[in-house]
Structure 1
Amino acid sequence: MNDTILVAISPRVRVLLPLPLAGAYDYRVPPGMRLQPGDFVAVPLNGRETLGVVWDGEADPDLPERKLRDVLHAYDVPPMTASLRRFVEWVAQYTLSPPGAVLRMAMSAPAALEPPAPQAGWTLATGPGSNAPPPTGRVTPERQRVLDALRPGEVLPGNLIAERAGVKPGVLRGMADGGWLRPALLPRPLEFAPPDPDHAQPRLGTEQRAAAAALEAAVAARQYGVTLLTGVTGSGKTEVYLDAVAECLRQKRQALVLLPEIALSAQWLDRFRARFGVNPALWHSELTSRTRRRTWRAVAEGEAPVLVGARSALFLPYPDLGLVVVDEEHETAFKQEEGVVYHARDMAVVRARLSDAACVLVSATPSLETLTNAETGRYAHRHLSERHGGATLPAISLVDLRRDPPERGRFISPKLVEAVGGTLARGEQAMLFLNRRGYAPLTLCRACGHRLRCPNCTAWLVEHRAQKRLQCHHCGHAEPVPQHCPECGAEGFLAAVGPGVERVLEEAGTLWPEARRLVMASDTIPGPAAAAEAARAIAEREVDLIIGTQIVAKGWHFPHLTLVGVVDADLGLAGGDLRAAERTVQLLHQVAGRAGRAEMPGRVLLQTFSPEHPVMQALLSGDLDAFMAAEAETRRPGHWPPFGRLAALIVSAEEERDADRTARDLGLAAPGGEGVQVLGPAPAPLALLRGRHRRRLLLKTRRDIAVQPILREWLARVEVPGNVKVQVDVDPVGFL
Structure 2
Amino acid sequence: MKIARVMFTLPLPEPFDYEVPDDFDVVPGSYVRVPLGPNERTGVVWDVFENAEEARDLKSVYMVYPAPPMPKSVRDFVDWSARYTCSNPGAVLRMVLRVPSALVPSRTQTVLEKGNAEVARMTPARARVLELIDQFPPLTAAELAQEAGVSTSVVKGLADQGVLSRSERLIDMPYEMPAPLDGVHALTDEQSEAADLLRQRVRGDAFSVTLIDGVTGSGKTEVYFEAIAEVLTSHPQGQVLILLPEIALTQAIMKRFEARFGAKPTEWHSGLSDAERRRAWREVAHGRARIVIGARSALFLPFPNLKLAVVDEEHDGSFKQEEGVIYHARNLCVARAKFEAFSVILASATPALESLHNAQQGRYGYVKLAARPGASRLPDVSLVDLRSDPPERDEWLSPVLARAMAENLEAQEQSLIFLNRRGYAPLVICKACGDRLTAPGTHNWLTEHRYTGRLVCHLTGFSMRRPSACPKCGARDSLMGVGPGIERVAEEIRRKLPQARLELLSSDTVQSGDDIRALIHRMETGQIDVLIGTQMIAKGHNFPGLTLVGVVDADASLKGGDLRAGERTFQLLSQVAGRAGRADKPGRAMLQTYQPEAPLMVALAGSDRDSFLAVEDEMRDVMGMPPHGRLAALILSFPDDQEAARLAREIGMMAPNAESVDVWGPAPAPISLLRGRYRWRFLVRADLNVDLSAYMSAWRKALKLPAQARLQIDIDPYSFM
TM-score normalised by structure 2 residue count: 0.92
The one-letter code of the counterpart of 2:285 is: A
Secondary structure of 2:397's partner? coil
Does 381-390 or 363-372 show the bigger shift? Answer: 381-390
Superposition pairs for residues 271-286 of structure 1, below 5 Å?
271-286=256-271
Alpha-carbon distance in 2 for matches of 1:262, 1:488: 42
Q: In the alignment, is the contact (CA less than 8 A) between 1:265 and 1:531 conserved in 2?
A: no
Alpha-carbon distance in 1 for matches of 2:459, 2:73: 37
The one-letter code of the counterpart of 2:177 is: P
Shift of residue 356 of structure 1? 1.2
Corresponding residue number in structure 2 for 1:6 = none
Distance 1:174 1:555, change over 3 A: closer
Corresponding residue number in structure 2 for 1:206 = 189
Q: In the alignment, is the contact (CA less than 8 A) between 2:2 and 2:49 conserved in 1?
A: no
Corresponding residue number in structure 2 for 1:27 = 18
- 1:107 equivalenced with 2:97 (yes/no): yes
Alpha-carbon distance in 2 for matches of 1:212, 1:670: 49
Q: In the alignment, is the contact (CA less than 8 A) between 2:218 and 2:369 conserved in 1?
A: yes
Shift of residue 354 of structure 1? 1.4
Superposition pairs for residues 485-564 of structure 1, below 5 Å?
485-564=470-549
- Find 2:273's aligned residue among 265, 278, 288: 288
Shift of residue 40 of structure 1? 0.4
The one-letter code of the counterpart of 2:62 is: L
Q: In the alignment, is the contact (CA less than 8 A) between 1:428 and 1:544 conserved in 2?
A: yes
Shift of residue 349 of structure 1? 0.7
The one-letter code of the counterpart of 1:113 is: L
- 1:96 equivalenced with 2:81 (yes/no): no
Corresponding residue number in structure 1 for 2:388 = 403
Distance 1:114 1:140, change over 3 A: closer
Cα distance per residue 1:630-674 (max 9 Å; x no partner): 100001112111111111111012222332232121101122343
Alpha-carbon distance in 2 for matches of 1:156, 1:406: 61
Q: In the alignment, is the contact (CA less than 8 A) between 1:199 and 1:277 conserved in 2?
A: no
Secondary structure of 1:405's partner? coil
Alpha-carbon distance in 2 for matches of 1:60, 1:102: 28
Distance 1:459 1:90, change over 3 A: same
- Find 2:210's aligned residue among 227, 230, 233: 227
Corresponding residue number in structure 2 for 1:634 = 619
Secondary structure of 1:522's partner? coil
Alpha-carbon distance in 1 for matches of 2:503, 2:36: 53
Alpha-carbon distance in 2 for matches of 1:277, 1:371: 34
Alpha-carbon distance in 1 for matches of 2:53, 2:714: 37
Q: In the alignment, is the contact (CA less than 8 A) between 1:14 and 1:59 conserved in 2?
A: no
Distance 1:686 1:142, change over 3 A: same
Corresponding residue number in structure 2 for 1:654 = 639
The one-letter code of the counterpart of 2:194 is: A
Alpha-carbon distance in 1 for matches of 2:113, 2:597: 78
Shift of residue 264 of structure 1? 4.5
Corresponding residue number in structure 1 for 2:411 = 426
Cα distance per residue 1:284-308 (max 9 Å; x no partner): 0111101111111111111110000
Q: In the alignment, is the contact (CA less than 8 A) between 1:43 and 1:50 conserved in 2?
A: yes
Corresponding residue number in structure 1 for 2:74 = 84
Alpha-carbon distance in 2 for matches of 1:411, 1:32: 74
The one-letter code of the counterpart of 1:226 is: V
Q: In the alignment, is the contact (CA less than 8 A) between 1:453 and 1:461 conserved in 2?
A: yes
Cα distance per residue 1:305-344 (max 9 Å; x no partner): 0000111111111110000000000011000011111000
Q: In the alignment, is the contact (CA less than 8 A) between 2:249 and 2:540 conserved in 1?
A: no
Distance 1:74 1:503, change over 3 A: same
Shift of residue 499 of structure 1? 0.7
Secondary structure of 1:518's partner? strand
Does 53-62 or 343-352 show the bigger shift? Answer: 53-62
Alpha-carbon distance in 1 for matches of 2:140, 2:625: 67
Shift of residue 271 of structure 1? 1.0
The one-letter code of the counterpart of 2:368 is: H
Higher gyration radius (CA): 1
Q: In the alignment, is the contact (CA less than 8 A) between 1:200 and 1:276 conserved in 2?
A: no
Corresponding residue number in structure 2 for 1:470 = 455
Distance 1:171 1:490, change over 3 A: closer
Cα distance per residue 1:250-301 (max 9 Å; x no partner): 1220000000013443221111111112111000011110111111111111
The one-letter code of the counterpart of 1:430 is: S
The one-letter code of the counterpart of 2:580 is: A
Shift of residue 59 of structure 1? 7.4
- Find 1:679's aligned residue among 640, 656, 664: 664
The one-letter code of the counterpart of 2:425 is: A
Shift of residue 56 of structure 1? 2.7
Q: In the alignment, is the contact (CA less than 8 A) between 1:683 and 1:695 conserved in 2?
A: yes
Corresponding residue number in structure 1 for 2:674 = 689
Alpha-carbon distance in 1 for matches of 2:117, 2:467: 77
Cα distance per residue 1:207-265 (max 9 Å; x no partner): 00011111111111221100000111000000100111111111220000000013443
Corresponding residue number in structure 1 for 2:378 = 393
Q: In the alignment, is the contact (CA less than 8 A) between 1:20 and 1:99 conserved in 2?
A: yes
Corresponding residue number in structure 2 for 1:215 = 198
Distance 1:72 1:551, change over 3 A: same
Does 486-495 or 425-434 show the bigger shift? Answer: 486-495
Shift of residue 388 of structure 1? 2.3
- 1:700 equivalenced with 2:685 (yes/no): yes
Shift of residue 355 of structure 1? 1.5
Q: What is the percentage of aligned positions where both structures have the same residue?
A: 47
Alpha-carbon distance in 1 for matches of 2:7, 2:51: 14
- Give RMSD over aligned pairs: 2.6
Alpha-carbon distance in 2 for matches of 1:619, 1:223: 38
Cα distance per residue 1:504-547 (max 9 Å; x no partner): 00100110011010011110023311110111111221111111
The one-letter code of the counterpart of 2:320 is: K
Alpha-carbon distance in 2 for matches of 1:120, 1:553: 46
Structure 1 unaligned blocks of 5 or more: 1-9, 126-138, 144-154
Cα distance per residue 1:110-162 (max 9 Å; x no partner): 1001111244579999xxxxxxxxxxxxx97569xxxxxxxxxxx988969x9
Structure 2 unaligned blocks of 5 or more: 121-136, 146-153
Corresponding residue number in structure 2 for 1:373 = 358
Q: In the alignment, is the contact (CA less than 8 A) between 2:245 and 2:319 conserved in 1?
A: yes
TM-score normalised by structure 1 residue count: 0.91
Distance 1:430 1:59, change over 3 A: farther
